[in-house]
Amino acid sequence: MILASALKKLLVKGYKSDNGFRSGYQNVLEQSMIQVIPGTDLRADTHISSSIHVWKENYGSIKAMLSRSGFGWNDATHTVVPGSDQVWTEYVKRKSTDDSHTGEYMKMMLWFCENTDAKLGDIAKRIGFEHDASMWRKSVFEELSGINQLDMESKIYVAKLLVNNTKDLDLFFSLPVDGKTTMLKMMLDGRY
């Protein structure tokens, strides 16, 4: 933000020329940065010119997207928003054939976008399963407290066995009360 503000001040002071800014503008920016951030080690020839180069590239990409049908601007997030997944996919495909330098990057982004949904679905399932297993683990001892045939030591022992094996935990909660009791006795006798 500081750099953007300093660039705006340069425009007001007349440093703008036909092909960008007049020579020496980076030194003026450097001095502006030093005034706002005393003791900074930011320098015009490395940091500022690099930032401006990145801004130019990003501006070009944003301008290209907004010039195409199907893209819009979100004022709240200050981002370009494709109207649909198909608009984005078509843009990426077209961009990858337009420029060989960015083509590989755009192909990689297309692959990433196409595979992200499947991967996120897998992750969501895993998180959902782990959440369910966590809830089951928390309710194991509650469930065991209703089984009067076991003493406290036995309940703690089988609770530990169940929470360490999600398949056994799943089976335990799927059984009726008498089935749970039988399963626990089998576990205690070493027959399970």
Identity at 145, one-letter amino acid code: S
Could you tell me the residue ranges of all domains in the chain? 1-67, 121-189
Residue 81 predicted with pLDDT over 60: yes
pTM, rounded to two decimals: 0.34
Q: What pLDDT score does 186 carry?
A: 93
Task: Return the beta strands (E) in 29-161 as ranges.
Answer: 71-74, 79-82
The percentage of residues in the chain with a pLDDT greater than 90, rounded to a whole number, is 6
Mean pLDDT of the chain: 77
Q: Which of 87-96, 127-136, 173-182 has the lowest mean pLDDT?
A: 127-136
DSSP secondary structure letters along 161-175: HHHT-HHHHHHHHHS
Q: 4 to each of 55, 66, 147, 154, 175, how far by Cα in Å?
A: 10, 21, 69, 68, 65
